[in-house]
Chains A and B, each alone.
Chain A
């Protein structure tokens, strides 16, 4: 279990009275007292309710609690433990399966997130809707725009202002269990064919319109970002045809793949790397007919309750020494040359994480219009409810 938990482990009565006396004498801090006695656990839980337990005595301080919205299997838990050890701020992690979900939560308000991880194509919409702040880069001294790859950072800048800084980049490919599927899978066309034949009942698609509709479009020879009604209609037809053969529609596919309940899935780079590392029979391939290349960013919601902690965590994550640990744990390729230099050779030579440039050529970045296009949203909903 985490250090945070151990620090909050129960305490004997003697120790309690001892600590209480020390607190009264002023020789320990309140935070230490709460941590040692386990009362911190209770306050931490209460503090999760925004505004309910935020002591004014700590205004200007980082507080004891913050919240981040991110993606499944996307961080090293040790990172947050180390951050807490350094700052005293416990990080609550919320994971999501689609950018739409994150957007919906922010639109509805009251998320309590202090930092979140949007994907490249969504940032302009967040800015337009006034949901994120321009970043005060003076509070993120460890970020260095000059060491970033422009291809992956440019969408964080809108009208010359930096609203988001890159976390890492990646691709959306196909993970398949080669012990179960013998036919070669090299394209999205193959993916949907095999899903209805050899992997009948064993294939997964994302619960996410961008990739599920996008890859269906690609398999039919259209653009990943198409919003043309007739092309979408073809994609819908394919998706509804394949649906009865699917194992599940779910963006959290790692558990099913690891249990071999599912044999094949749409898969993000970092998940592909993690699965392949633990189960070598699971391979990760990019569609030669196309697919998605993306970069994920860190941004701070306008509604954040504890922006100080949000910036502190962001700066911590932008520190190359920390980012490299994150990288090794989650397997998503970096956008930062400082981090690249620190990586061991077995990571930089991993073809799942850093594929040949040629295989990236057919891939497309997601387009902002797909996020808000009602046609794609409705298509996804019809597909799921069919």
Chain B
């Protein structure tokens, strides 16, 4: 190969990469740098940002310990609850369902996504509110049950809202699973349960980890569901951020929290992917 073709190839590569790089630069890198700068600044007297260099915002993080705690507890629990429900569903869709109806069934999983989460969460507000399930319970003599605006309602909303995001990657990894591997396992004397734990589960782990990481990361930024189903009482980091930017107008502190959150997300992602790589025994882990 000549130097000229090399240069040409590099130019083509650069041209292909440029839009994505520009996109990342404008919508990811620059805002993140702005956020970093804000995080070391001060709140202006009327709100907003004024230049400074201080660690005060980070020192203030413990005042949002409850929000971090709620998020870091409820996000993994939510992701895990999602997984427990999503795995059997994905397994059924990918392995057991009649291939003729599979597409329809998979679409049914995705269809709710066509409706805004806001609308669907409002529906849950009605279902969990006094005129919903508590009303039905009162008919059988169980009075004054309160479901809405509880951590349980938030968890339910999370599982409901994020289930498709968990089902899809697990489904894809199970659907790609070579059926002959299951036959090979049975052939070698493995009972169905052993086959599941020895072959199916490990080989679907990339999908599982993708789903768990996806749902956990999105949950770390969740704000709508705790707001609507938690009545503003169950507070996630997302809610703390909304408050800081939209009520207190404390941009520096909000940025400090956001930067910390990004750091947490990066760590979560790295740990999850490392586990997935190790278990799957290959570097070719598919992100969906």
Contact = CB atoms under 8 A, between A and B. Distances in A.
A binds B: yes
Interface of A: 98, 100-101, 103-105, 107-108, 125, 128-129, 201, 204, 207, 209, 243, 246-250, 256, 259-261, 372, 374, 377-378, 380-382, 384-386
Nearest to B69: A385
Contacts of B185: none
B250 A374 contact: yes
B129 interface: yes
A125 B46 contact: yes
A246 B146 CA distance: 12
Contacts of A129: 46
Contact of A104 (B63, B149, B246): B246
A26 to B, nearest CB: 42
Contacts of B148: 261
A377 B131 contact: no
Contacts of A256: 129
Contacts of A259: 129-131
Given A104-B246, A378-B63, A385-B240, 7 more contacts: A128-B46, A129-B46, A201-B146, A248-B149, A377-B248, A378-B250, A386-B66
A304 to B, nearest CB: 20
B232 interface: yes
A377 B243 CA distance: 9
B129 A107 contact: no
Contacts of B67: 385
B135 to A, nearest CB: 10
A104 B247 contact: yes
B148 to A, nearest CB: 6
Contacts of B46: 107, 125, 128-129, 372
B124 interface: no
Given A128-B46, A259-B130, A386-B66, A377 B231 contact: no
A381 B130 contact: no
A132 to B, nearest CB: 13
Interface residues on B, range: 20 to 34
Interface in B5-59: 43, 45-48
A296 to B, nearest CB: 19
A101 B246 contact: yes
A243 B232 CA distance: 10
B45 A372 contact: yes
A227 B69 CA distance: 29
Contacts of B232: 207, 248-250, 384
A107 to B, nearest CB: 5
Given A246-B231, A260-B130, A104 B47 contact: yes
Contact of B47 (A98, A372, A378): A372
A189 B221 CA distance: 37
A30 to B, nearest CB: 32
Contacts of A382: 63
B246 A385 contact: no
A103 B231 contact: no
B19 to A, nearest CB: 22
A100 B66 contact: no
Contacts of A250: 231-232
Contacts of A98: 247
21 contacts: A101-B246, A101-B247, A107-B48, A129-B46, A259-B130, A259-B131, A260-B130, A261-B130, A372-B47, A377-B248, A377-B249, A377-B250, A381-B64, A381-B248, A384-B232, A384-B233, A384-B240, A385-B64, A385-B235, A385-B239, A385-B240
A101 B243 CA distance: 9
B248 A378 contact: yes
Given A100-B247, A101-B246, A261-B129, A107 B47 contact: yes
